[in-house]
Structure 1
């Protein structure tokens, strides 16, 4: 299959959607139409944390993603965590959101454990990324951590 890139973004803006769009821009994936899938890593995929996405194709095309996104409007911190576990076969992504990064990380790790146990898979290689966005109370703040499968595909 190829590579699955994990990217992160955090931003604030006057509206909920604008803060989400700005966080997507921070991650480098704001010019694509995101199609969310559940959380299975194909056997032949490599998962790599890159932070900000490289050019993945023309604007307006489709990107397949697993997304953790937290948006808040009150003073505080948004936290969006995505973890992945791989082994000799397929792997898993798990996502969690909240306002406390440590709690989000713990819930992602627990989800990976539960998902591996459910499937009876050996998933020895694991990583968790938690993105945070601090908010001063003006408008909205969004944090996101997104796994992007491959490159973009035409929609039409």
Structure 2
């Protein structure tokens, strides 16, 4: 199979790993052993964005992926003042409002004739993540001297829940899974 499926998920749980597992379940990728690769798309591949990854083989198999993942938990708060992010000079200012951070994990992909690239970014603000993805795709294309005009992004977001861990993932799953043993 030459299809790379891109899907995202969000999970909330009492531990970081359990929230990650729940985010993988949200994308239907929780029953595979994920094997991370860098970010080159083979020339013969088709990249397809899906809400949930279809069955890619038996549970326990290895599945090749590119992944953007961000987890936040209890105590992870961000300082904000008047709608903007407080800088280091404001860190001592106890009057700055506190809020739970947003969780954003995104992938962008660029294709054209021949191979393509993925670029993964995480953060707190989905628009900033999207902007960094576009910049990364530009840089990656220029570095390789590839004309990659066809571009898409997927950014998965959530607002962290108090006293629990929240994970957002966006994953590109390459083809079918393969047996480990």
The answer, yes or no, to whether TM exceeds 0.5 is: yes
Q: 2:19–2:166: 8 Å Cα contact kept in structure 1?
A: yes
Which 4+ residue blocks in structure 1 deviate beyond 6 angstroms? none
TM-score by length of 1: 0.98
Computing the radius of gyration over CA atoms, which structure comes out larger, 1 or 2?
Answer: 2
Secondary structure at the residue paired with 1:152? Answer: strand
Partner of 2:171: 146
Structure number having the greater strand percentage: 1
Partner of 2:24: 24
Residues 1-156 of structure 1: pairs in structure 2 closer than 5 A? 2-73=2-73, 74=76, 75-156=100-181
- In the alignment, the residues of structure 2 paired with residue 65 and residue 17 of structure 1 have an alpha-carbon distance, to the nearest angstrom, of 18
Q: Deviations over 1:70-99 (max 9, x none)?
A: 111132210001000000010000000000
Q: Which blocks of at least 5 consecutive residues in structure 1 are unaligned?
A: none
- In the alignment, the residues of structure 1 paired with residue 129 and residue 43 of structure 2 have an alpha-carbon distance, to the nearest angstrom, of 26
Secondary structure at the residue paired with 2:110? Answer: strand
Secondary structure at the residue paired with 2:50? Answer: strand
Q: 1:80–1:96: 8 Å Cα contact kept in structure 2?
A: yes
TM-score by length of 2: 0.85
Q: 1:70–1:80: 8 Å Cα contact kept in structure 2?
A: yes
How many residues of Structure 1 are paired with residues of Structure 2 in the alignment?
156
Secondary structure at the residue paired with 2:177? Answer: strand
Q: Which blocks of at least 5 consecutive residues in structure 2 are unaligned?
A: 77-99
RMSD: 0.8
